[in-house]
Structure 1
Amino acid sequence: MPSGNFGNLTAGLYAKRMGLPISKFVAATNANNVVPDFLRTKEYTPRPSVATVSNAMDVGAPSNFERLQHLLPTFEDFTEAMEGADFSDFMTLRVLETLYQRSDYLADPHGVIGYLGLRQVMVGEPEAVGVFLETAHPAKFQERIPEDLQEAVEIPERLSAFLEREKVATPMSKNWEAFRAYLEALK
């Protein structure tokens, strides 16, 4: 499962608890590999985020880790529920292209990380059935898709209409009182 803030993995653990037949999850990350490192070392060490091509997963201190600890109170619970895997930008982009060339499927970089995690875990289990999650349409991250695959990105009509709309933003201070005054003026 592509993982940054670990919300999808947390939801998956709840689904498993409710009866969804899942044997194990793969916490697949980019260079922001805090949870895979925890699964290797038993030490959870949040750190500043690192920018990657799978930018929606650039989280160095996942806020859902506390929820994971609630669901999985011991380290053994963690290792029974999931395996960790992390992948470089180079590997992500290389496999994104290979996946498209071999199967005519264009994934976004986040989904590629999920795919890589699944492949890594499935190597020793040829009879097992696995599913990887694609959490976004590649058009959402079109600027992250390699140049030679740009033409393959089909932008859905609804997204295209959204992208054509005028962008509206209100610059404001990070000061709480200024924000509060802005909200009160909306009444």
Structure 2
Amino acid sequence: MKLYNLKDHTEIVNFEHAVKLGLGQQQGLFFPVELPVITSVELSKILKMDFITRSTEILSYFIKNEISKDKLYDCIKKAFYFQYPLKVQIKNNIGCLELFHGPTLAFKDFGARFMAQMILSLNKNNESFTILTATSGDTGAAVAHAFYGMKNVRVIILYPKGKISELQEKLFCTLGKNIKTISINGSFDDCQKLVKEAFDDKILKESIGLNSANSINISRLLAQICYYFEAFSLISEEQRKKLVISVPCGNFGNLTAGLLAKSLGLPIKYFIACTNANDTVPRFLKNGIWQPNQTVSTISNAMDISQPNNWTRVEELFKRKKWDIKELKFGSVSDDETKKTLHELFKIGYISEPHAAIAYRLLKDQLKEDEFGLFLGTAHPAKFKNTIEKILNNIITLPQALKNRINLPLLSHNINPNFSKLKKFLLEK
């Protein structure tokens, strides 16, 4: 598999190097040189496979012979050992694809655990390296648990202090061992900026073997393609002809993966890119001006991102496929409207959380009568227990994964968004 740097097309690497590097020169993201396409006959065969076999087949179209199918199958089986996505019917023409049944109760488990298996598999010389990543909520826990206890791997996770839920924080800031967490006095965008600055520092990058586990890493992105095919396999033949998918968007990795699934040959009618008040992309799609505002805090905190990393990949894919960017639907939802939507879902018997509620709101508002829609359930409602209970006046039962950690002390360090302080931490610890 060959990939090129979106900021420097002359930098071309294979899959192994893209996984190990994370980012290319000038903080550029890697993108596939070849965009494979499967036939309708191949699609029919793939949809009849079990999730692990199907995922192996899908990813082999991209990775090709760089990793043998047997080895890829083994890695995927180890990564996706948990319960696969579930489709829950909400209304006659709307369903939720629940992606939060993994060990850290969020869709990020798919990408993080696949990346961990890829790094383990590709690290033939048992080299030591440091994974530096930023999280706006769920990435941190997924990455921390995926790499927890792994030899020769140190994980450093940055997150905005006071801007993720208490239970999200408990999931990854109580582990210790090879997992180090730092709360940053700022926004997620500040955390993300620090990560990029670290990758620009050649001495730092080489001395500690720096890598990233954000959705900027191609391995995480590819893994997420798999559950879009699973979604397609879970619906009827009739529903497949008119499928619309609504995606809650933060860093836009989830949407990028869905669009890559469509590019590969999955006949999704269109996507809805859903944001909260941090609406850089919806405003851009409306008026053609890229103008990020100051990031604001919302109850859908994982989407509190004003400068999404993966948007360049979305634009590149539309350009390469000669798709019209106007085919991408969009919208943003305020906190007040999100709360109303949580009540609406609760009244029809479904307890959701803010991110999925935003995706449901925009799907319901934009879906046509002859279409079938799925919105992505990206995190378990219990991760936002305090918020949900206050809004719905209903007790949320904690899953065991959260019960195990709720009373453990936080082990996080705290710094201002200052790169020199982060660099000192990375070199000394």
Shared topology, TM-score over 0.5? yes
Q: Secondary structure at the match of 1:133?
A: strand
Larger radius of gyration: 2
Q: Secondary structure at the match of 1:69?
A: helix
Alignment partner of 2:324 out of 69, 72, 77:
77
Post-superposition Cα deviations, 1:117-142, rounded to whole Å, max 9, x if no partner, equal 111111xx212111000111111122
Q: Secondary structure at the match of 1:70?
A: helix
Q: Secondary structure at the match of 1:162?
A: coil
More moved, 91-100 vs 161-170:
161-170
2:313 matches 1:67: yes
Shift of 1:29: 1.1
The equivalent residue for 1:105 is 350
Aligned pairs for 1:35-184 within 5 A:
35-73=281-319, 77-80=324-327, 82-102=328-348, 104-122=349-367, 125-147=368-390, 149-171=392-414, 176=419, 178-184=421-427
Q: Secondary structure at the match of 2:377?
A: coil
The equivalent residue for 1:6 is 252
8 A Cα contact 1:96 1:107, kept in partner: yes
Residue type matched to 1:70 in 2? Answer: E
> Aligned pair in 2 of structure 1 residues 73, 172: CA closer, same or farther (>3 Å)?
same
Comparing both chains, which one has the higher relative contact order based on Cα–Cα distances under 8 Å and sequence gaps of 6 or more?
Answer: 1
Q: What is the rounded CA distance, in whole Å, between the counterparts of 2:263 and 2:371 in structure 1?
A: 21
8 A Cα contact 2:382 2:398, kept in partner: yes
Alignment partner of 2:271 out of 15, 21, 25:
25
Post-superposition Cα deviations, 1:33-59, rounded to whole Å, max 9, x if no partner, equal 111112211222222112211111111
Report % sequence identity.
Answer: 37
> Aligned pair in 2 of structure 1 residues 43, 178: CA closer, same or farther (>3 Å)?
closer
Residue type matched to 1:139 in 2? Answer: A
Q: What is the rounded CA distance, in whole Å, between the counterparts of 1:94 and 1:175 in structure 2?
A: 39
Q: What is the rounded CA distance, in whole Å, between the counterparts of 2:278 and 2:331 in structure 1?
A: 11
Q: What is the rounded CA distance, in whole Å, between the counterparts of 1:169 and 1:148 in structure 2?
A: 29
Q: What is the rounded CA distance, in whole Å, between the counterparts of 1:180 and 1:91 in structure 2?
A: 41
Shift of 1:164: 2.5
Residue type matched to 1:29 in 2? Answer: T
Q: What is the rounded CA distance, in whole Å, between the counterparts of 1:55 and 1:140 in structure 2?
A: 11
Q: What is the rounded CA distance, in whole Å, between the counterparts of 2:416 and 2:350 in structure 1?
A: 43
Residue type matched to 2:371 in 1? Answer: A
8 A Cα contact 1:48 1:61, kept in partner: no
More moved, 52-61 vs 70-79:
70-79
Q: What is the rounded CA distance, in whole Å, between the counterparts of 2:252 and 2:267 in structure 1?
A: 20
Structure 2 length normalisation: TM-score? 0.40
8 A Cα contact 1:108 1:141, kept in partner: yes
Residue type matched to 2:326 in 1? Answer: T
User: Which protein is richer in strand relative to its size?
Assistant: 2
More moved, 125-134 vs 145-154:
145-154
8 A Cα contact 2:339 2:391, kept in partner: no
Shift of 1:17: 1.1
Q: Secondary structure at the match of 2:372?
A: coil
8 A Cα contact 2:342 2:392, kept in partner: no
Post-superposition Cα deviations, 1:137-159, rounded to whole Å, max 9, x if no partner, equal 11112232252535341211112
8 A Cα contact 2:248 2:356, kept in partner: yes
Q: What is the rounded CA distance, in whole Å, between the counterparts of 1:173 and 1:42 in structure 2?
A: 34
> Aligned pair in 2 of structure 1 residues 127, 40: CA closer, same or farther (>3 Å)?
same
> What number of residue pairs does the alignment pair up?
182
Q: Secondary structure at the match of 2:331?
A: strand
Shift of 1:76: 6.2
